[in-house]
Chains A and B, each alone.
Chain A
């Protein structure tokens, strides 16, 4: 994108913001606050905490799988107008989340979606050839592993609960949080145990 295009867009955004402020719908301070929250407070660390808790507390995991929204509320994470459904990776079963129609994403536990999640290549092929898509992310699953794709088209948002990797026995919840990355909660990665970590 050239500088000229960029400044044209910036001018459109400025005009729109001014109009909405004039209508009394928003204030620029509120806009600042929303941007700040998503840049600093709401991100995949929230989801990693949910996963690490589920890995270390079997009763929490049970509640999480039964009613995701209620379980994450225990950790102080609120969801407005949506329902969280947590889907668990098991030996022989892998889950992958997509939104083919737009970009539905569990932003309240993962923050805003990455560009690839919202892009045509991912949205078009995740349902058609999930194994090929996973290979593009470097995830090679055994042929015997079943792949379940979740196309979020309504008011449910899906979070993948990855399998706890071997070699993490005895780790604390905080240590586990560090190895749960965003993509493993979308289903396009598996949590990795770094070689150098000696818990």
Chain B
């Protein structure tokens, strides 16, 4: 979803406020929320992708106003409601396919797809349509786009793809800067050339 959470490349959020010697949790309730989220997830009430999908579903103004753990609290309340019929841990459904072999190799040139799905994705907007080079090959990991919506557990290779600053930001890009992003295979298309 092209949500407010997809912050990469935005301006106008102000200076970075750096607090020296901040506590692990600012208040006692933050610690409770952190622990509850982790425990409920590990017990199988929901998965990490569902958690992210729920946080990202917050209205933009509310998302930006809320503190980090307020977002978690709001999402956890929603997830508990969504899963009100939950009766106990079940074995995870089978994988949607066998674990695949990677299509791309290190140094392959790839292009991130230009897509704007309604649902959850981990392909940041600033990388869409941009060309980069495969730097590392990992996984396979479950595709969040499906797993976040209970649509299946599809393992896919994940690639760390390096994009130059000029490719990402055009006229405002700078030589000697790059960003590497971890992208699932179906976010990418191959191009004909290798570096």
Binding site for B on A (CB under 8 A): 6, 9-10, 12-13, 16-17, 19-20, 23, 25-26, 30-31, 34-35, 38-39, 43, 83, 85, 100-103, 111-112, 114-116, 118-125, 127-128, 130-131, 133, 136-137, 143-156
- A34-B34, A38-B25, A121-B16 known; 8 new pairs, CB 8 Å cut-off, are A9-B29, A13-B29, A25-B43, A34-B35, A39-B31, A144-B176, A154-B184, A156-B160
A177, chain B: closest CB distance, angstroms:
18
9 nearest A-B residue pairs (beta carbon): A100-B8, A34-B35, A154-B182, A35-B31, A120-B13, A124-B10, A124-B7, A149-B179, A31-B35
Residue pair A124, B19 in contact (C-beta under 8 Å): no
Q: How large is the interface on B (under 10, 10 to 19, 20 to 34, 35 or more residues)?
A: 35 or more
A93, chain B: closest CB distance, angstroms:
10
Which of A13, A101, A123, A125 is the one whose CB lies under 8 Å from B33? Answer: A13
Interfacial residues of chain B within 109-153, with CB under 8 A of chain A in the complex: 122-124, 126, 136, 138-139, 141
Nearest-CB residue, chain B, relative to A141: B176
Interfacial residues of chain B within 1-17, with CB under 8 A of chain A in the complex: 5-11, 13-17
A168, chain B: closest CB distance, angstroms:
23
Given A16-B73, A25-B39, A127-B9, check contact A119 B25 (CB 8 Å): no
B183 at the interface (CB under 8 A from A): yes
B48, chain A: closest CB distance, angstroms:
8
Which of B34, B124, B179 is the one whose CB lies under 8 Å from A101? Answer: B124
Residue pair A153, B124 in contact (C-beta under 8 Å): yes
Binding site for A on B (CB under 8 A): 5-11, 13-19, 22, 24-27, 29, 31-36, 38-40, 43, 45, 52, 55, 64, 68, 70, 73, 76-77, 80, 86, 122-124, 126, 136, 138-139, 141, 158, 160, 162, 168-169, 172, 174, 176-184
- A158–B168 Cα distance when bound, in Å, is 21
User: In the assembled complex, which residues on chain B have CB atoms less than 8 Å from the CB atom of A35?
Assistant: 25, 31-32, 34-35
Of B39, B45, B158, most buried by chain A (CB within 10 Å of CB) is: B39
User: In the assembled complex, which residues on chain B have CB atoms less than 8 Å from the CB atom of A9?
Assistant: 29, 70, 73
- A20–B43 Cα distance when bound, in Å, is 11
Nearest-CB residue, chain B, relative to A35: B31
Nearest-CB residue, chain B, relative to A151: B181
Chain B binding site: helix, strand, loop or mixed by DSSP?
mixed
Which of A10, A121, A148, A155 is the one whose CB lies under 8 Å from B17? Answer: A121
Please list 27 pairs of residues, one from A and one from B, whose beta carbons are closer than 8 Å in the complex, sorted by A's number: A16-B36, A20-B36, A20-B40, A26-B39, A30-B39, A34-B39, A35-B34, A35-B35, A85-B160, A100-B124, A102-B52, A116-B19, A120-B7, A121-B14, A121-B17, A124-B10, A127-B8, A127-B168, A127-B179, A128-B172, A143-B176, A144-B176, A146-B176, A151-B181, A155-B141, A156-B138, A156-B160
